[in-house]
């Protein structure tokens, strides 16, 4: 399938396939993923690592960015929840805007949930990498900045959730305005006589 989408610029995409030891490589054919990634349009570098988040893996990314003049980086590894900040910092270390980085989850979304289906898992991982490469085409550099904010919050609704949110915000040092349209707070909870399992009065 072609990745022939509108190009915002001359793209030079690097794809990094992580084996995660046997976490990914035990189920997914990583060599096949690397070969497949090489066929994707605008991909100019494909590197496979045992542990991409470890220092040697990150160094490979940095080296490839410089050597191949990459302007997009796609890492196929685990959930972005764990290592997206790691890789954003990694690419930023060599001058690439961290928002030109894209992460593809071939561990939690593939190897861990398709452990007995190596062939199908590999095909699914290829699809996800192709999608990640396609997404990376439309990434734009972002500039982070710090702006002054008023440390106050408005909570609309004085039911049990609103009250708890207001208390949590206040505990975090914010001035809180709690707004309730009824004459009393407590919402539906205030109308309940007893609550399970202690059978205490609800208020
Ligand atoms: S980047 Fe994620 S998938 Fe790769 S070695 Fe590290 S934890 Fe494992």
Protein residue whose Cα sits closest to atom 8 of ligand 1: 20
Name residue, tokens 């062939």: 119
Q: Please write down the HEC assignment for all residues of the chain.
A: CCCCCCCCCCCCEEEEEECCCHHHHCCCCHHHHHHHHHCCCCEEEEEEECCCCCHHHHHHHHHHHHHHCCCEEEEEECCHHHHHHHHHHHHHHCCCCHHHEEEEECHHHHHCCCCCCHHHHHHHHHHHHHHHHHHHCCCCCCCCCCCCCCCEEEEECCCHHHHHHHHHHHHCCCEEEEECCCCCCCHHHHHCCEECCCCEECC
- For position 3, what pLDDT does the model report? 47
Q: How many angstroms is it from 167 CA to the middle of ligand 1?
A: 38
Does ligand 1 come within 6 angstroms of the Cβ of 78? yes
Q: How many angstroms is it from 152 CA to the middle of ligand 1?
A: 39
Q: pLDDT tens, 135-175?
A: 999 999 999 999 999 999 999 999 999 999 999 999 999 99
| DSSP-derived pairing of the beta strands 101-105 and 72-77 | parallel
Q: pLDDT tens, 124-146?
A: 999 999 999 999 999 999 999 99
Does ligand 1 come within 6 angstroms of the Cβ of 53? yes
Of the listed ranges 58-62, 103-107, 188-192, the least confidently predicted one is 188-192
Q: pLDDT tens, 19-74?
A: 999 999 999 999 999 999 999 999 999 999 999 999 999 999 999 999 999 999 99
Does ligand 1 come within 6 angstroms of the Cβ of 51? yes
Site to probe by mutation for ligand 1, drawn from 61, 78, 103 as the one with most ligand atoms within 8 Å of Cβ, is 78
Q: Which has the closest alpha carbon to 64: 81, 79, 43?
A: 43
Q: What is the assigned CATH class of domain 13-136?
A: alpha beta
* Euclidean distance between CA atoms 64 and 160, whole angstroms: 53
Q: How many angstroms is it from 22 CA to the middle of ligand 1?
A: 11
Mean pLDDT of the region 173-201: 89
Domain boundaries, the chain: 13-136, 152-201
Protein residue whose Cα sits closest to atom 2 of ligand 1: 78
Protein residue whose Cα sits closest to atom 6 of ligand 1: 53
* Euclidean distance between CA atoms 41 and 203, whole angstroms: 63
């Amino acid at each position: 399938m072609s990745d022939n989408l509108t190009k915002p610029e001359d793209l030079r995409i690097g794809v990094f396939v992580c084996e995660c030891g046997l976490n990914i490589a035990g189920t997914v054919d990583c060599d096949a993923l690397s070969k497949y990634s090489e066929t994707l349009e605008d991909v100019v570098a494909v590197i496979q690592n045992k542990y991409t988040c470890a220092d040697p893996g990150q160094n490979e990314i940095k080296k490839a960015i410089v050597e191949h003049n990459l302007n997009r980086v796609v890492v196929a590894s685990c959930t972005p929840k764990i290592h997206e900040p790691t890789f954003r910092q990694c690419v930023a270390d060599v001058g690439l805007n961290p928002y030109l980085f894209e992460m593809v989850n071939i561990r939690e979304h593939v190897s861990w949930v398709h452990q007995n289906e190596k062939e199908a898992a590999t095909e699914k991982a290829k699809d996800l990498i192709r999608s990640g490469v396609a997404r990376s085409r439309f990434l734009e550099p972002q500039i982070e900045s710090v702006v002054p904010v008023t440390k106050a919050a408005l909570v609309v609704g004085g039911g049990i959730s609103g009250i708890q949110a207001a208390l949590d915000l206040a505990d975090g040092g914010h001035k809180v305005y709690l707004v309730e349209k009824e004459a009393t707070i407590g919402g539906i909870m205030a109308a309940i006589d007893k609550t399970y399992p202690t059978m205490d009065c609800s208020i």
